[in-house]
Structure 1
């Protein structure tokens, strides 16, 4: 028998308003958060991508809830392949990295191993055939990480520069923005 969360995800449509309703349900019922994380990182599950949509919205409000799951999340990033899962997870990764280095109210603490997994996966998403939004979030994440790992910005410049001509206007806009900051 499907859990209440599974049932809600089963009937979820991609409409933003519907996603926000289920995200609010999770925010109001934190006891479902563990299950949400589990579904997000079960790539063979049919509602995996829908859970990732919800995790993104929950992360905007309660990013700190991810702290106990960071080792699991970062170790399993590389196992996600569905484009509908990658975009929201790439955004969550960007939020985590930003919060880690800003030391803001979220007080996210990423271990060195977490950071290495994020770096590896972000570069993989950037060089592989993923959609532009996932690449854009990866570029921005790697830019922030490059402020702390001196080898990242030169690699990022090479990859983004090489791929620049072959991508959409959206990719080019993010690429220009980041390349300008690097120089």
Structure 2
């Protein structure tokens, strides 16, 4: 799998499924009370996502889009150890997530604006980076802060759906 699309679709789809499974089985969740095996699964879900964003950053056209995707790739890669860190220190894990999540959103907004402004791919592929980045600030972060644990878990799963949408747009229009 040389291109970013299958990685983003796989990682995003797995995250979306994990979000809905965690709602149906509350003992799983996305926090330090989760079983070890589930935390490892959540950590591994971020590996194809990070791979997809690194590949997308390498192939992006335009310097601004490339920088935005690199920021996102590094931030999403930080989710892998952050998931596992929750067992050792919830403060450290929370700090990593608290920094990496808005950075990933910012990177996607920057890449998304550059893609839209410079006549990127037609259709969903053109707007997917921007939609995925805005989702962080409009849906994900408010749900994590104010809307309760079920909304937060659903929002995390929805963000995975955005990653899959982004991967689908890249696949279809590259």
- TM (normalized to structure 2)? 0.31
- Higher relative helix content: 2
- TM (normalized to structure 1)? 0.30
Q: Which has the higher contact order (CA 8 A, sep 6+)?
A: 2
